[in-house]
Amino acid sequence: MTEILEQNHINYIVYAKDEHYGIGVAESAVGTLRVTAKAMLLQANIPKKFWPFAVSHASYLNNIICPSRTNKSITIFEALFHKKADVRRIPPFGSFTCVYKDRRKLQDQSFDLTSAQGVFIGIARYNKVLGYCITDGTTVSVTRDSIAFDPHFFPFCLRANASPSWQTFHDLTQPQAAGARLQPVALPPPTPLEDDISDESDFEFQKSIDDIPLESNMPKHDSSSSTSDKENEEATRNVRPTRNSAEHGEKRGD
């Protein structure tokens, strides 16, 4: 057993039961992988059932960025494979990814899609194949062929929240997603303008106009002379004597 672990660059240390915290290096490495996997699942809103793929991908990322313990100038990936990893071919975790399908295997070779679409859930081993793993939410497929991906589109972020414990983070980072608990804001009703008159007010206004008697509906008098005489008498009573008219009257009296 020790020989197999050494061949896989694993330092095997025996500790007493329930004293695993004494192996600081191993516990730190496990904690780093756990935190990295949790951050990727949380950011992409991937369901927790895909955690093995997230941990495997976190381990792969750790190997291509962390320095080797035997040689600090190279990474763990370079120490194992004697070359640098091409990070340009690694899709972001949770991004929209397409895998090429052989056109000759399609039922309708003219109009069927020549790619399998899904969400990238990491570089992991699945069905005894180490490659790019994608999922549509239910099934998982793995491939080592060329893939195409969109680094700015994360489909699962538009879905409902994958875990109730992530609800606060989901509300703050994805307010437009289906899982966000946005309450509709009650806006005050718009104040009507003076020029805006409803149909009912138009009806009342028209009704009040119809109630006003017109001249044609008013009763007519037989003679207009009596009315004009009365108006002349009232006009004469209301006229005040001027100064000239008063002096003229005094002279006549003299």
Residue 172 lies in a domain: no
In a domain, 68, yes or no: yes
98 occurs within a structural domain = yes
Residue 28 located in a structural domain: yes
Q: How many Å separate Cα 209 from the centre of its chain?
A: 55
- Domain-located, residue 149: yes
Cα 74–chain centre separation: 42
What pLDDT does residue 109 have? 75
Q: Give the total number of structural domains in the chain.
A: 1
d(CA 140, CA 147): 15
Is residue 207 included in any domain, yes or no? Answer: no
Residue 205 lies in a domain: no
Query: Residues 175, 157: contact at Cβ < 8 Å?
Result: no
Rg (CA), the chain: 46
Residue 59 structural domain: 2-166
Q: 95 Cβ partners below 8 Å, 6+ apart?
A: 44, 119, 120, 149, 150, 151, 152, 153, 154
* Residue 185 lies inside a defined structural domain of this protein: no
Whole-model pTM?
0.61
User: What is the pLDDT at residue 56?
Assistant: 94
Residue ranges for the chain with pLDDT beneath 50: 182, 201, 203, 205, 217, 223-225, 246, 250-254
